[in-house]
Amino acid sequence: MLTYAALKDRAREFLAATGMTHEEFTSLLPAFASAYATLYPPDKTLAGKARQRQRGGGAKAVLSLWEDKLLFILVYQKTNPLQTMHALQFGLSQPQANYWIHHLLPVLQQALAQMGHQPERDATQLSQSALVWESGAPDLLLDGTERRRQRPQDPVEQRAHYSGKKKAHTDKNVLLVHAQTHKVVYLGTTLAGKTHDKKAADEAELHLPANTTLGQDTGFQGYAPAGVLSTQPQKSHGAGS
């Protein structure tokens, strides 16, 4: 069974599972616990009513520790597994995993926002985002990321979500990452996986600050917002070419 105690001293596996170093995890943990207490006050039930008995009665929950709660939701966000598989990793049933996912996602979002790490979701507000300006002049990287999803039942949706690049049904998001801080500063709307990267960027209507340096791969060829310096990596042709 996957637990914080079993993983904390295995740096490579910890990073692969959560997307965070152990130091980043421990710095997020207090904000996570604080956000949990705000969203789910210990003296109230989930329905918001005053508790009639002390919290913690009954069988001990598998995710009883703050570290295991945070690990559970970070692994889910990083690896995007089927709920059944995620449940197996943490010694839960699928309904229990479903409950904890929906219970903890708002907590993680609030904790990241509290620490100033939550990506901007409104493309019109990018010029005012503190994450964009965190390390001086805006130096950003634009990318389209795909993640596998369940195959839609509807044939039209199947075609829309089938990605020839991934040879699977996927969802796509446009991301902006700060080249210096390596933080995600913008997370775009979720689109069907077949959507071309440039079309996704065009539809996002990113309001980038003037004189932004924007690195982008060939999937965004032709995307050149006004007042922005767009750069693309050049392919290496090798010594024999």
pLDDT tens sequence across 143-183: 999 888 888 999 999 999 999 888 899 999 999 999 999 88
Which of 74, 91, 114 is the last residue before a domain boundary? 114
131 shares a domain with 93: no
Question: pLDDT (tens digit, 9 = 90+) per residue, 31-60?
Answer: 999 999 999 988 776 666 776 666 555 556
Instruction: Name the residue with higher pLDDT: 3 or 236.
Output: 3
Local structure of 140: helix, strand or coil: strand
* C-alpha–C-alpha distance, residues 20 and 64, integer Å: 21
72 shares a domain with 144: no
Provide CB contacts within 8 A for 208, sequence distance 6+.
Answer: 126, 127, 138, 140, 214, 225, 227, 228
Asked whether residue 178 is domain-assigned, the answer is yes
Q: Quick one: which of 239, 238, 235, 206 has its CA closest to 218?
A: 235
Q: Could you tell me the residue range of the domain that residue 191 belongs to?
A: 123-231
Domains in the chain, number? 2
Provide CB contacts within 8 A for 1, sequence distance 6+.
Answer: 89, 90, 91
Q: What pLDDT is recorded for position 57?
A: 55
Model confidence at 239, in pLDDT bands (50, 70, 90)? Answer: low
Pairing mode of beta strands 191-192, 168-178: antiparallel
